[in-house]
Amino acid sequence: MTLPPAVPGPSALPADPRRTEAVDPGHADLDRLGVQALVQVLADDQRAAVEAVRAAAPALARAVEAALPRLADGGRLVYLGAGTSGRLGILDATELTPTFSWPPERALGLIAGGEGAIRQAVEGAEDDPALGEADLRAVGVGPGDVVIAVAASGTTPYVLGAARAARAAGALTVGLANNPGTPLLAACECPVLLDTGPEVISGSTRLKAGTAQKIALNTLSSALMVRLGKVYGNLMVDVRASNSKLAARALHLTRHATGAGEAEARAALDAAGGHVKTALVMLRLDLGAPEAEARLAAAGGHARTALGEGLEEG
């Protein structure tokens, strides 16, 4: 009697054009590896995530350029996804407030299955395009908003329903998918392909596909924040000192940007309500907090412009 192979070969599997669903032929004995070799294989495979984002840099740049006018006019960032992709979107949205003082009401995260799905999978929620459309409409997305739709497969019905509804509402749509030629990329005005290929653990897109999504979202949102004046040089000057860790960071950033002593920098930060960018302008131009705030407001929040240094394009 001939027994079937312990691990089915490619011929035993149905064809699927999505590369993220393919079985990586190089790791059929993954479960036989020792711990050192296993960890090395998993770590090495993550390098493909970085390369996928590097290849997508032009598409990410186009998305940044398209999104900037809407956000500068007060629009919102709305992230949507299911499973790992949804959780990564919520993470990126959440981190914008402590990092860049981005108003939390202008960074929304929608995930198939609602908030409960952040910590526990909600089975079947991602299979309903009408649910995605309903969630999108419930937050009142309109022409001023930027919607970032994320799906490793590029075929998730919930994400597709929401993305199509966002585009119909006039919002700018940015689509991140890990498979070429997928419906999500076709549905969005700014498609971003993160072509990471098969996973070491076949089908587990929380691995390098998820890593590529995390890097791409970091890159996209950070680039937006830089261009919106949330950074001076490479200093995170729109941070507010809301806890002891951030207070120490704010003091360090203020001193680095101005050359001020500790006592002088601390006094400026106190007068500025812990806002580094205001303290920076105060110290560099010898202004009080109200005058510095007014100067920043007139400069659209850009510290370089407020300081009379101007911005360079490049």
Q: Which of 95, 189, 264, 291 is catalytic?
A: 95
Contact 232, 303 (CB under 8 A): yes
Closest CA to 228 of 118, 65, 81, 98: 65
Please name the amino acid found at residue 227.
Answer: R
Burial level of 220, CB count in 10 A (0-12/13-18/19+)?
Answer: buried
Measured distance CA(36)–CA(15) in Å, rounded: 33
Residues sharing a CB contact under 8 Å with residue 79, sequence separation 6 or more, in sequence order: 86, 89, 90, 92, 93, 107, 108, 109, 110, 147, 148, 150, 217
Q: CB count, 10 Å around CB of 197?
A: 15
Q: Which of 21, 126, 199, 293 is catalytic?
A: 126
Measured distance CA(16)–CA(3) in Å, rounded: 26
Q: What is the phi/psi pair of residue 117, to 5°?
A: -75, -10
Concerning whether 126 is annotated as a catalytic residue, the answer is yes
Residue 173, beta-bridge partner list: 147
Pairing of strands 107-111, 146-151: unpaired
Angle in degrees, CA 89, 94, 98, rounded to 5: 145
Closest CA to 260 of 238, 235, 285: 285
Please name the amino acid found at residue 142.
Answer: G
Secondary element (H or E) of residue 276? helix 276-285
Concerning whether 65 is annotated as a catalytic residue, the answer is no
By annotation, the residues acting in catalysis are 95, 126
